[in-house]
Chains A and B, each alone.
Chain A
């Protein structure tokens, strides 16, 4: 090894650091950083005022409001349902529980376009669920409610998979102590079981929200894409692109990237906060 006056990083007997790091950085730059930098550069060419002007066009405003609002709603709903599913899967041993546990990852594995047309067919006015719901006067497909259903499909695994490991680590002894000290089961759940889950729940919410805001394939089929009613932000990017309005597309993309970065920051802050609370460094 060459004698160097200053080393990048701490010394290690293992070889290949420079090769691996340089390869990684090169690949990261080519595939991720330069393209995203291009989007930011292109959108900055019209300035914040330009982005604001595009973002406040009524049709786009409606799409952004729908995307962010529904993503948050779907995230919160996924969190509640995900908590229930995670609880049942980690706490109760019943025939088929392992099968259900494996099936949680179905939305990760299923191509979004397939999920999209399948959900649309299920909730269409003549679909398996759509027909009975339509008889009750509830229209799901081609309305924001349909988008909500698709976003829950996409978001549920995030909620379950972030809560599950934390739930599995909780100590039953604490619950027993709580019960022995006279707490009812409901009190134990509220005061002993739920508080340690808050960081994981926030992380799960942020992950499913970030995914939902950017989700395209599973949403556009069931959304119906009616201007001012059921258009989502990613669809507006594709539409601008198809109109060869790259600047407009990058402006919307910049807003969405801003939200992605904010979500990443939230996740990292929550995790740092958890580590501090648990006293690891």
Chain B
């Protein structure tokens, strides 16, 4: 519901002709708060209410379940594969795109953003098409005893696909804004390329990099559609946390589903808080056009 603090006297400002009347303004603010409460805050609150409906012991019981434990381990493992790889790639892509002029650069940047426009389900499907039993490379991998689809590699690949752009799209505009002066100075003073990178470039982009990694990690741990298409949902083996939520929910274990969902929701809230702190504290060291 609408907090009464919202209705304290509005701040005095000196652009009266370009402002709504106070009554209109209050109505618009109340409308915004109401809409956000309905669309955003209610579902999140519900997750935690449902998770603890049967008390803390039931909650802990659901989390202690071996299948849940295995899902937690798999989710952490997948994030530990996808996030560092995409961070490394994102830095390389940003270095190429923000520091050099070359033909086709805008096409490259568009292609880097492409995974955000592709349905996660299609992303998952694309790995089945490549590595499934009737896929283009599937038989080769099967013959060499490397399972991809319905196994860890497929889940990790699908997760890498959907989290592909996060780091690059934060770093490219940031490095373009920062310009090349610092790096050229380091080179002029005799630094080797790697020394320049670690003592000049990396410290300059550290908050932007962290910001990108944070968003990348949240998506990696929470991805559902892409992973659903490749995982095969083998309980205790290829179920990540979001898939485990679906399995529990489908089995009418609502308390368990919401208990597991509350961990993921908690992760999302922590991500949001850290992201907001980064935006407040280090706004000048993040890309202005960071939002999409």
Q: Which residues of A contact B (CB under 8 A)?
A: 8-10, 12-17, 19-21, 23-25, 27-28, 31-36, 38-39, 41-42, 81, 84-85, 87-89, 92-96, 100, 102-119, 121-122, 128-129, 149, 152-153, 156, 158, 161-162, 164-165, 172, 175-176, 179-180, 185, 188, 207, 210-211, 213-217, 221, 234, 237-238, 241, 246, 249-250, 253, 256-257, 260-261, 263-264, 268
Contacts and interface: CB of A to CB of B under 8 A. Distances in A.
Given A9-B103, A237-B229, A264 B114 contact: yes
A238 B119 CA distance: 12
A216 B134 contact: no
Given A16-B193, A113-B242, A256 B224 contact: no
Contacts of A14: 99-100, 180, 183-184, 187
The CB with the most chain B CB atoms within 10 A, among A42, A113, A175, is that of: A113
B42 to A, nearest CB: 6
B17 interface: yes
Contact of A217 (B89, B224, B269, B288): B224
Contacts of A93: 10-11
Contact of A24 (B3, B96, B223): B96
Listed from nearest, the 8 A-B pairs whose CB atoms lie closest are A214-B119, A111-B222, A9-B102, A216-B225, A35-B126, A217-B224, A175-B18, A118-B43
B176 to A, nearest CB: 13
Interface stretch (B61-69, B202-210, B258-266): B258-266
Contacts of A237: 119, 121-122, 125, 229
A112 B96 contact: no
Nearest to B38: A129
A27 B120 CA distance: 18
A118 B193 CA distance: 50
B42 A129 contact: yes
A109 B218 contact: yes
27 contacts: A8-B102, A10-B101, A17-B102, A24-B97, A28-B112, A31-B161, A35-B126, A36-B122, A38-B129, A85-B35, A88-B32, A100-B32, A103-B41, A114-B264, A114-B268, A117-B249, A117-B258, A118-B46, A122-B42, A149-B39, A153-B39, A175-B17, A211-B116, A215-B225, A217-B224, A249-B128, A264-B113
Contacts of B164: 31-32
Interface in B251-292: 254, 257-258, 261, 264-265, 267-269, 271-273, 275-276, 279, 288-289, 291-292
A112 B129 contact: no
Contacts, number: 312
A88 B19 CA distance: 12
B32 A38 contact: no
A33 B132 CA distance: 17
Given A14-B183, A213-B119, A234-B225, A107 B292 contact: no
Contacts of B5: 95-96
A241 B35 contact: no
Given A94-B10, A153-B40, A241-B125, A85 B119 contact: no
A263 B225 CA distance: 20
Interface of B: 3, 5-6, 8, 10-11, 15, 17-18, 20, 25, 28-29, 31-33, 35-36, 38-44, 46-47, 50, 89, 92-93, 95-97, 99-103, 108, 110-123, 125-130, 132, 134-136, 157, 160-161, 164, 180, 183-184, 187, 193, 196-197, 215, 218, 221-225, 228-229, 241-243, 245-246, 249, 254, 257-258, 261, 264-265, 267-269, 271-273, 275-276, 279, 288-289, 291-292
Given A94-B29, A117-B261, 19 more contacts: A34-B130, A38-B130, A92-B10, A94-B6, A94-B11, A95-B8, A96-B3, A102-B272, A108-B215, A109-B222, A111-B223, A113-B242, A114-B47, A118-B44, A161-B292, A176-B18, A237-B122, A241-B128, A268-B110
A192 B251 CA distance: 55
Nearest to A97: B29
Nearest to A101: B276
A39 B272 contact: no
Contacts of B96: 17, 20-21, 24
Contacts of B249: 117, 221
A35 B115 CA distance: 11
B292 A162 contact: yes
B161 A164 contact: no
Given A103-B40, A128-B46, A234-B225, A88 B17 contact: no
Contact of B261 (A13, A38, A114, A185): A114
B41 A156 contact: no
